Every structure is written in structure tokens, then in C-alpha cells.
Chain A
Amino acid sequence: MFGNLSDRLAETFKALRGKGRLSAADIDGTLREIRKALLEADVALEVVKNFISAIRERALGDEVSASLNPAQQIVQIVNEELIQILGGEARKLRYGKVSPTVIMLAGLQGSGKTTLAGKLAKWLKTEGENPLLVAADLQRPNAVDQLKVLGQKVSVEVYSPEVGSGVGDPVKVAKDSIAHARSKGNTVVIVDTAGRLGVDQEMMNQAKKIRDAIKPDETLFVIDAMLGQDAVNVAKAFEDGVGISAVVLTKLDGDARGGAALSVASVTGKPIIFSSTGESLDAFEPFYPDRMASRILDMGDILTLIEQAQKQFDEQSALEMAEKLANENFTLEDFLEQMQQLRKMGSLKSMLAMMPGAGQMRQQLDNIDEKEIDRTEAIIRSMTPVERTNPKVLNGSRRTRIARGSGMSVTDVNSLVNRFEQAAKMMKTVAKGGTPQIPGMPSGIGGVVPRKKAKDSKKKSGSKSGNPAKRAAQEQARASGSGSKESGAGSAFGISN
């Protein structure tokens, strides 16, 4: 099995990393690998060609040969060029000068427009807006119903005067929706339109008419991360047909390498502003080109991770946890608490996927069963307080009782206790400022995460972390400044598949 773009480039650069100086042949070889990796990642051929020639030019220049670490320099160049293509600086959603702001969604069939409309509405509400959803996909059977259900779920009004499924005029619906929004005091209008092919002239004309009727502040082109080489043709067709202002990337939670994002951004010159990363209506986030580029280069999406952690980790319990770590009396009670904190942060998988180096363990990530957390919780909750604080008292009969109480088998209880002991041991090491030894962690998760985090905190040693949780841990750990709260948190992932 091959990995994704990050994995491929990581593999390419591994060979390069050891070298002090690069020959022209080195550069050519590397570029060939990058070309193949990008093509296999579905980046359009013409985009790949431009990308490679830009890299080659810079790689052969002085900045590389004069640098102390040419390999790192190439990584840097690839990174910069990727960011360049992905749209440079992060761009925010553009609101109109007068209310309501009008957002039109357009894209191929099945790219995820309707689901995205629901997510966008939900997100806009958290931003303090009062959105209105407009059901202007009157083509696909029951698209209107789908939008209504989504609207209900996120408690947003849906303007749906027509039943759809081939009945009604989408241009009129879209047009009337603006007046409706004005009268109802909505601040943003999200117009869902039917999926259409780039080559379907009639449908493209219809999209143009909708656009002219509502004069959108944003025309979002919704594409699916699995899109292949055709992305360039489709993007050109939509750019020429309706004119797009920004791109939204969906289904990023799949294992597609998402090269289409590069293609579309490159051909249209339009930024990608949102990404959609799962089936839950919360799985929606702003798109950050620099972070995406780092993610592609397997440098991890540390910033997003820290931001989310800051939002969700409550500081008090983080402080207490850090204290526990320093005093080395980490108990199953704490183990459970950590797990609950983690769950607050959202999906375990999407959190882990942002970790540096996570590319290599994607396979394992995909196999984590979130229900496993439920089961672990059930086991710990079936223990007495004494057992939770001092797992050493867990003898055979206690374990049998716990197994029965939690509806699990004794084997499950045993493996949890083992994992806990490993995690506790590892945390002690980290708290003392050492590098944890991971003796054959079965899941790979419990091991890899703290290791990578440790690397990260090393990088930042000396400076205070911007993350309060981490800063607290650093202060508490005292030892060498590298003991980090998140190293501890990471080990709570000692979850078997």
C-alpha cells in the first residue's frame, strides 16, 4: 500500500536528508520523485509541470548550493511553492457591504454542496450571523428535503418554496430568497444549487442566471478531494461559466491525496477558504494554505492542533494534571479524565491526523475505533475508587468482577491495565525530561504521539509555549523544560485497535 502525498515526499526527502551537498543529479532525481508523487496525488499534469520547473529553477540557484543544509532548503522551497499555489495567505469569508451577504454554492454532482450548506450555516451561527438556507437544487430528487433536514438539525431556516425533484425554477427561488432574507432579517443567504457538469452548457447557463439574479458576494466552488485530472477542466468551466470567488474542499477525511486542491487553486488562482472533514455537521474548518502545505510535507498541522486544544482543554484541570505528572502519581482516574478531555476536543482521529508524522500512521489512525474509548471508560467506571488510584490491588477476582460490571472480558481488563501501566511509565519518563522508550506498543498510537510531541517541545525549548496547558506543564515539570502536558495527554491514546 502506498501512503499519501505527505508520505511520498517524506520518503523522497529521507534519502536527501543525509546529504551535505546536492548534485544536479540529486536534484533531478528528487524532482522526478516529486513529479510522480504529485501525479499520483491527482495534481493535474500542467500544474505539476509548472510546479516542477519552478522548484528546479530555485533548487539550482544559489540559495540551495550556498546553504548549509541543501536538503532542508529544497524542502523549504517545495513548501513555499505549495503555499504559493494553495493561495498564499489564508483568506477569510468575504461578507457583503450590505446585509444580507449572499453566498452561492456551485459544483459537480456529488461534490457535497448540500451537506456543506448545512455545515456552513452552522458555522456562520457560531460566528454570530443569522443565516438563511435556500433550496435552489430543484434537479436532484429530494435535494430540497435533504436541505430541510439539515436546516432543522442546525436550527436554521430553509427557504424552499418549490418541492424540487425536477419541479420549479431555481432562478426564481434564488432571486426571491434575497427579498425573503431581507424581510426576515437574515444576515447571510446560502444558496444551494444543483450539481452540474462543466460540459453541460444548458446547466451552466442556468447557474449564470442564478448568479445574475442574486449577485453573490461569494461564489464558492465546491470540489471533492478525490477529484482526478479532470479538476482543471471542471475548474476552468466553472470559472468561465459562473465565475468563482473561492474554493471549498470536501471529503478531506478520506484518504485521497487531494491533489485536486492544488490543481484548482493553481488554474483558477482562487483561494481555498474552507475544508470539510467528516460527516458530522461540525466537521468544517477554515482552510489554511500554509498549514495544508506543511501537512502535505508531513510537517504536521501543529497550529490547528494547538488552537483546538486551547479551546477545549480547561486550564484548571490541565494544571492539576501537570502536577500529577510531576509528582508521578498518575492514576486510572486521571487516565479517564484525560480521555474525557480529549473527547471534548472532537474526533480523536481528526486530532491525531494533524500530528506531525501522522502520515506514516494513517493506516493505524483509520483503525482506531472511537467506541474503544467508551469501552475503556466502562471498564474504569466499574472499578472502585481504591482500584482506580492504586491499580496494583487488581487481583484475579477483582478483574473478573470489573469485567462482569463493564460487560467486557477479563482479557480486555488485563489489556487496559497493561496499557495504563505503560502509559504511566512513559509519562514519568517524559515528566523527568527524558525521551520515552516505547517497548513494542501494539497500537503504535500511544508510542508515536508522545514521541513526536517530544520533538516539538524540544524545538521550542527555552521559550514559553503559547499553549496554556503546555506552559503549565513546562512550569510544573521544572526538570529540563521539555516535559509537556501534551506529552502526557498523548499517552492516553494507549488504545488498542
Chain B
Amino acid sequence: MSNIFFWRKKREEEKTEANQRDAASDSQDLVATELPKRNSRAGIRSLFSRIKFDLESLEQLEEILIQADFGVDSAESIVLEVKKIAKSQGAQSEAELKTILAGVIREKLATGTRELNLTSGKLPYVILVVGVNGVGKTTTIGKLATWLTQGNWKVVLGAADTFRAAAVDQLATWADRAGVKLVGPSSEGQDPASVAFEAVEYGVQSEADVVIIDTAGRLQNKTDLMDELSKIRRVIEKQAEIAEVLLVLDATTGQNGLVQARAFAEAISVTGIALTKLDGSAKGGIVVAIQNELAIPIKLVGVGEGVDDFAFFDPEEFANGLVA
């Protein structure tokens, strides 16, 4: 992503500088910024820590992939492809086979743009964060907010998880750590959509670059809660475009991850996935099935509880890490 520039509002001190990259930035009062870089290699563990990988063990590959939560269907199709390519290339050695496998996995994960949509210039960029309970939505937002402020972006957080006990406080702690403004409910149990509305309203008025909205965890089979998401979306869109709808997915989740992605995609047009808890022993193989079926790109990965423990997803690194 070396040539990607994100457009945010010019800070006062920057207005005097004469380094506009683009004519557009003059008229819109925007400046192109490059955000701090992250490396996603950390955390991904190899599939083959204990197993030798050769032509004979190719039969075992399906099981190895199943154990990494790829699912029976994805595992079968990957094995078939690897066999086909290996045959056509006459590949024999472990290194050759691994390269082929990595290529097949990378190919399956390479759809869509993986950069965050922070380029349109229509400020504030609103990022809505959704997911089932306990996947790490609030933590992901905390990391994202910190990273953006490191790039000198002005961030507002909206605490629209008004359901779970102390969820607002949890986000407030992250807001403090990142030094950003938090807009929370003014009364207990306030309608989440109205909190989202107020957060975006504040973002517009205060000329923020990014507004990130946290939502309550919801299991995807609860129709009324899923409907609530559309309501949140509608009220936000009264004031600003939604730049990203990030679905946070726990890497330890099994095949239900696909069901989650389907349901959230249908309810609120998810634009990207944040895959969390990749620092554990789980591989998060379900993302392959999700990409295959829904073509929702994985944008971020979470690799720990620290404020810096996140990265942009890179299919190449991910695939290479898996077969290493």
C-alpha cells in the first residue's frame, strides 16, 4: 500500500505549508497523509509446525486445513487445486508444495480493496463497527483510534453499545488512552441510534476527520437486534456517508463465522472484516470461505491486547505465515 494516500482535513499549522500534492486538496482544504505502517506477520502460526509436508502427506492436507477452521468444502477445494497445480508443474519437494499452497490460499484471499476507505475526501469518514458478542469490537476501535491520532487525525468515538454493562466506560478508557473525544449516551439505556446520531453530529460540527461508532454485540440470529443496525445506519446517513462498516470476527470462531458474515452483510452491507485474536493458536481459516462466498475483504487483524497490536491484513503475509 505504498502509494495510497489518505485524505484528511488540513491542520492549522499545515495550511501555511505549500506542499499540496493535488489540486483537489486546495479546494477541499485537505491534505494527503500517509498513516503509520503496520506489519501483520506477527501472530500467524504455521499450519505445519509438527507435520512434514510432501506428496504423500498431501492427503493429510485436507485434515490440516479443517483443523485450521477452513471448513470441509474450502479444505476440499484447496486440496484439489494444490494437487492439480502440483501435477501440472511436477512439483515434488516440500518447498515447492508449500509455495503452491500459499499461492492458492493467497489467491482466495485477494479479492477487493483492503485499504480502509479514507480516501474519498468526504469528511468525516464514518466507520461503523459491528459483530457478535465478545469478538473484540471495542478493543479494535481503541487501537484504530490510537493509530489514527498517531497520524494526526482528529477522531471522535461514538459509544452506541448502550446495552452491555460498562461498555461505554470501556470505550471511554480507550478514548482517554488515544486522547480523542467520546460521545456517549446521556442517559442509561439511551437508544443506540440516537447516540450514533449525536456522535456523527458532533463529528460534523467539530470538523473531525473520522467518527468511529461502537455498537453492542449481537448474535446474528436475533432479528430485532439486526434490524436495529439498519436503523443506526439510516440515522447516520442523514448527516454523513458511511465510509466503512467493519465486521469484527474472532479468529477462534469456527464455521459459524460464515453464518455471521452472511447475516451482517445482509443486514448492513459490511465493507470489511477485522479479524481479531490472531495471536492465539487459532488460524481463522473461516475467512477463506467468507471471501469466497461474500467477497468481503479482510482489512485489519488484531494480534493482542496492547494499543499497537493490530495491523493491516496482507494476504501474501498471511498465506506465507500459514505455510511457513
Contacts and interface: CB of A to CB of B under 8 A. Distances in A.
A413 B47 CA distance: 60
A256 B256 contact: yes
A36 B75 CA distance: 12
A197 B220 contact: no
Interface footprint category on A = 35 or more
B252 interface: yes
Interface in B120-163: 132-136, 138, 142, 163
A39 B62 CA distance: 12
A228 B166 contact: no
A140 B135 CA distance: 13
B165 A112 contact: no
Given A42-B256, A256-B254, A230 B223 contact: no
Contacts of B33: none
B164 interface: yes
Interface stretch (B6-14, B83-91, B167-175, B191-199): B167-175
B119 interface: no
Contacts of A362: 221
Interface string A93-132: 0000000000000001111100100100000000000000
Nearest to B174: A141
Contacts of B69: 42, 228-230
Contact of A254 (B68, B166, B219, B283): B219
User: Mostly helix, strand, loop or mixed at chain B's interface?
Assistant: loop
Contact of B253 (A139, A143, A227): A227
A81 interface: no
A224 interface: yes
Contacts of B63: 45
A164 to B, nearest CB: 10
A279 B136 CA distance: 17
Contact of A111 (B134, B170, B172, B281): B134
Contacts of A237: 281
A226 interface: yes
A367 interface: yes
A149 B164 CA distance: 10
Contact of B166 (A44, A145, A199): A145
Given A40-B71, A255-B259, A226 B253 contact: yes
B201 interface: no
B293 to A, nearest CB: 12
A31 interface: no
Nearest to B225: A279
Given A141-B173, A228-B286, A251-B133, A197 B281 contact: yes
25 contacts: A40-B71, A40-B72, A45-B66, A110-B135, A110-B277, A140-B170, A140-B305, A141-B169, A141-B174, A142-B173, A143-B170, A145-B165, A197-B281, A228-B257, A229-B69, A230-B281, A230-B282, A251-B134, A254-B132, A254-B220, A255-B220, A255-B259, A257-B256, A260-B254, A366-B223
Interface of A: 36, 39-42, 44-45, 108-112, 115, 118, 139-143, 145-146, 148-150, 153, 165, 197-200, 224, 226-231, 233-234, 237, 251, 253-257, 259-260, 279, 362, 366-367, 369, 371
Given A146-B166, A229-B254, 11 more contacts: A42-B69, A44-B67, A141-B138, A142-B166, A142-B170, A146-B170, A198-B281, A199-B279, A226-B254, A234-B281, A366-B222
